[in-house]
Amino acid sequence: MRDYTQFYIDGQWVDPATPNPFDVINPATEAVCARISLGGEADVNRAVAAARKAFDTYSQTSRQERVELLEACAAVYEKRYRDIAAAISEEMGAPITFAEKAQAHTGLGHLQEAARVLKEFSFEENLGAHRVFKEPIGVCGLITPWNWPMNQIGCKVAPALAVGCTVILKPSEIAPLSARLWAEVMHEAGVPAGVFNLVNGDGPGVGTLLSRHPDIDMMSFTGSTRAGTLVAQNAAPSVKRVTQELGGKSPNIILEDADLASAVKQGVRSMFANTGQSCNAPSRMLVPAARLAEAEAIAREVAEKVVLGDPADPGTHMGPVVSQLQYDRIQALIEQGIEEGAKLVVGGPGKPEGHETGYFVRPTVFSDVNNDMTIAREEIFGPVLVMIPYTGEEEAIRIANDTPYGLAGYVQSGDIDHARRVASRIRAGNIHINGASGGYDVPFGGFKQSGNGREWGAHGFADFLEIKAVEGYGT
């Protein structure tokens, strides 16, 4: 069992001011796999003081110094790559093949992309006799989730360090193992003391303390919309910047001119990737009503071929959901879908046969869903797809936008111009045409209750920068 009870503050591994042990559960075995300590006010104050002190010097480092630092971090990350993938698989149940190919790669990708962007990024702009400067915002509190742990750490820490900010990271207490390894990478790469700090804790504890802290200049949060609003409320009295990447209930519009078999297969597989635990998952599949039965048969066939099992087994397609709490919530929503009259195509309540231990959920597809049903409104965050029939393109677009969320949208069409027209009318931050997915340079973020600000690539730098205009600079 891993003992990760220390925090990383001011370039050192330190004991918590007051130990508060917390067990980390392996979701595939339901056994304790690690122990951390939840932080408190003294730990947060110590980390913020270290970050504040370090900011004075780190913010003045040269572009080249920071490029070299990010490249050093990426090099160490590559050395620890398999350790990081194994930690992700253990802490949140991702199949090891998926953890290695996708989950772990995101951390490396964001470090490399931040270094690439930084080499050419413009921190100054002339406006006649005046000059505009983009300067690091200061000390940043970063709160990251359990579902894509390295992705969310990487897309916050990398740009923050690139532009000259210092940070305090609070990863999810449910899946903190990979964050510990990230801190080890930072240390070995030579990140200066106080520039990166790690304090474990829960939202009501450390998360609230960070959000309220008067010496933190900016909060970057990824998680549920409910928790994100609390971060914003706690940050409001100190008028600090808050950026949020929150929930989603993303539509996947299969247009009349799409290849139905290909589109449905792709949509179902995408929904079940990461056990449905992705905020941008294509969880609402909109299908032409006349072809709904055909789409159901295709979806059932794909779902029945999903291999559930031990995340450490390279043949596993889908592991467990992350916790008992998540399992119970997903089960309740599946039951509610049945009670509200949705057609259960495949899956359903209860654990899959042979998987009585572990938080395993049956790959589930509902059909004949209307957009007012609970399963069409709430983010289930599990392997549950809802299929919604539509009649006419205008109805499909209306249903797609009939949600408080706006993180992502998906359009499937055999005509690229047709797909572009429909994509332009979906109110969401990321639209995927025919399954396309952007690289680390493409901005990520949402409309409406899916958040504000953008992460990834050059667009991700903006959240960590303040704008200073110096008038008369050139006179």
* Percent with pLDDT over 90 in the chain: 99
Whether the Cβ atoms of residue 233 and residue 225 lie closer than 8 Å to each other: no
Question: What's the token pair of residue 180?
Answer: 């510990």
**CA 246/CA 224 separation, integer angstroms:** 5
pTM: 0.97
Residue 475 has pLDDT above 80, yes or no: no
Catalytic residue among 165, 279, 379, 455: 279
245 part of the active site? yes
Whether 444 is covered by a domain: the verdict is no
Do 360 and 279 belong together in one domain? yes
Tokens of 245: 């990447």
Are residue 257 and residue 282 in the same domain, yes or no?
yes
Distance CA 108, CA 8 (A): 20
CATH classification of the domain holding 283:
3.40.309.10
My answer on whether 405 and 288 are in the same domain is: yes
Task: Provide the residue range defining the domain that includes 387.
Answer: 251-439
In a domain, 475, yes or no: no
Number of domains observed in the structure of the chain? 2
> Domain containing 211 — which CATH number?
3.40.605.10
Helix intervals (H) in 190-235:
208-212, 225-235
100, 113, 245, 296: the catalytic one is 245
Residue scoring higher pLDDT (106 or 474): 106
The stretches of 273-379 forming alpha helices (DSSP H) are: 292-304, 324-339, 374-377
Q: Please indicate, yes or no, whether residues 134 and 271 belong to a single structural domain of this protein.
A: no
Verify whether residue 155 is a known catalytic residue: no
Q: What is the pLDDT of residues 12-30, one digit of tens each?
A: 999 999 999 999 999 999 9
Do residues 263 and 213 both lie within one domain? no
- Residues 258 and 238 grouped into a single domain: no
Asked if residue 119 belongs to a domain, the reply is: yes
* pLDDT at residue 297, rounded to an integer: 98
Q: Express each pLDDT in 99-151 by its tens digit.
A: 999 999 999 999 999 999 999 999 999 999 999 999 999 999 999 999 999 99
| CA dihedral sign, ordered 97, 99, 100, 102 | positive
Does one domain contain both 375 and 465? no
Identify whether residues 83 and 224 lie together within a single domain.
yes
Q: Are residues 262 and 200 in the same domain?
A: no
Which of the four pLDDT bands, split at 50, 70 and 90, describes residue 474? confident
Structure confidence by residue, pLDDT tens digits, 184-232: 999 999 999 999 999 999 999 999 999 999 999 999 999 999 999 999 9
User: What does the alpha-carbon distance between residue 161 and residue 142 come to, in Å, rounded to a whole number?
Assistant: 12
